Structures are given as C-alpha cells and as structure tokens.
Amino acid sequence: MSQNSPTEPAGTVYIVGSGPGDIELLTLRAARLIGEADAIVYDHLIADGVLDLARIDAERIYVGKKSSNHTVPQDELNRLLVRLARAGKRVVRLKGGDPFVFGRGGEEIEALVDSGVTFEVVPGITAAAGCGAYAGIPLTHRDHAQAVAFATGHLKDGTINLDWPSLARPRLTVVFYMGVGGLTEICRQMIAHGLPGDHPAAIVQSGTTGRQRVLTADLATLPAKVNAAGMTAPALIIVGTVVRLREKLAWFQSPAASGVTSPDGSG
C-alpha cells in the first residue's frame, strides 16, 4: 500500500468491485466502505441501488464508460482520484464486477502508486461467475470443462485480436466480456479455428438482475438468434458444452426472461 507524503492529508482511494448487478452480491466490506466514503467515483455498470448506501453528503461523480464512449478519459479519471485523495477524502472508486477483471483497476492503481496515494482493493464477484450462476451455466464441470478462460470481445479498429487457437478448444469454457458488438466475428473465428458449428453457446444479458435474459444456441446460429431477440449490452457470451446444463440447472427467473428461449423452448 502506497503512502501520502507527510505534508498531504491522509486521503485513501478504495478500488471497489460492486459485483455483477444484484446488490445483494455486494461484499460486506464494499458496503461498509461505500457508507463511509466522502466521495464515490462510479461507473455505468454498478449494482442497482448501491449508491443508496452512501452518505447523503457524499460527493457522487459519474465517470461511466459505454463501449468506446468514455464520459471521462482514463488519464483524467486517474488524475481525479489523485486529486480527491490529496484533498484528504476517503474515496471509493466503484466498478461493476471485479476491478481486476477487465475493469482497468490495475491501470488506476499504477497511477495511484506513481502519485504516492494510499489505496486498497476490494474484490467483487466478476460478471462471468455471477451471470453463469444465475443462468444455470456452471463454468466448469467434470463432464464438460476442466478449464475456463475469460476474454474481451471489445472491438478495436474492426477486429478482435485474440489467440483464437487457444480459445477454440474442446473441454474449455470461454466467457467473452464486452462481446455483443463483435458476436458474429467471435462465432466465426471460433468455428474457423476448429470448433463445430453446433458447439453450444449462450448469451446472458443484464445477468443477476430482474432484467436478466438468457438465450442458448450454438456458434452457427447464436448471432442471428440474438439479433432476432433484440438482445444488447450489457451481456456476456459463454461458449462451451456446459451451456447444455442450463436446461437442467436453470433456477433464476426474471420478469425480462419472457420471450427469450433456447432452441428447445426453455427460457
């Protein structure tokens, strides 16, 4: 943990994960720190209702990102955290999911270290774990997958630069974050690098919340089915034979699930 200089107020930045969407999946430590914070710097994808835990007088600063649309550029955001801490504030940098899983938590901590600002990291349930659980899709299973990989499906310059041969493997579950815009390319690449077109795949929209929608299909048909269902971000893509277990293991029902079904007719 880095330290402020003796001439500066003892402000601290807490990098906090708010989990995948259901506020009851927030950790106890995260909830306590939010309630104690002088300032909360928060993203777009934080758990519904989490800001209600903050003090009435706490400063709330929105810095949300939607795909490539950044309300506050990352460098400016880093400077904001440093400035608040140097003003002696207890700052909660609130992120969706877990700060260290495609959350840029590492980049922000680097800036805090370079500036001599005290910080702490509070992990959150990452979206893959939360959405998989609420969709009834275990990420690993002895009969299906002995390994799981997280990948970003965020498009840059029209391409997704991933190690496709290592991802397109049997007995592996692959979870793509931020992949809705590149879904067609993801499925095409997975097939091109060795997986059959009927390899199971699913998409989970707004997972763990009352807006959750789940659609199961396969690599060849998922893009068209997602388009027909009008499913959009925020959503995760899960590829692997574990998707077949949803028919048996699905337990969570949400009002938004109506009308989104798997090929066999289940929700």
Task: Provide the sign of the torsion angle of the four alpha carbons 231, 236, 241, 245, taken in this order.
Answer: negative
Q: What's the helix, strand, coil split of the chain in %, to 5?
A: 30, 25, 45
* Sequence-ordered list of residues with C-beta below 8 angstroms from that of 177, at least 6 positions apart, any chain: 101, 102, 127, 128, 150, 151, 152, 153, 154, 236
22, 43, 98, 218: the catalytic one is 43
Active site residue 65: yes
Measured distance CA(151)–CA(214) in Å, rounded: 19
Q: How long, in residues, is the chain? A: 267
Active site residue 225: no
* Sequence-ordered list of residues with C-beta below 8 angstroms from that of 204, at least 6 positions apart, any chain: 131, 132, 134, 135, 137, 212, 213, 214, 235, 236, 238
Measured distance CA(115)–CA(131) in Å, rounded: 36
Positions marked catalytic:
43, 65
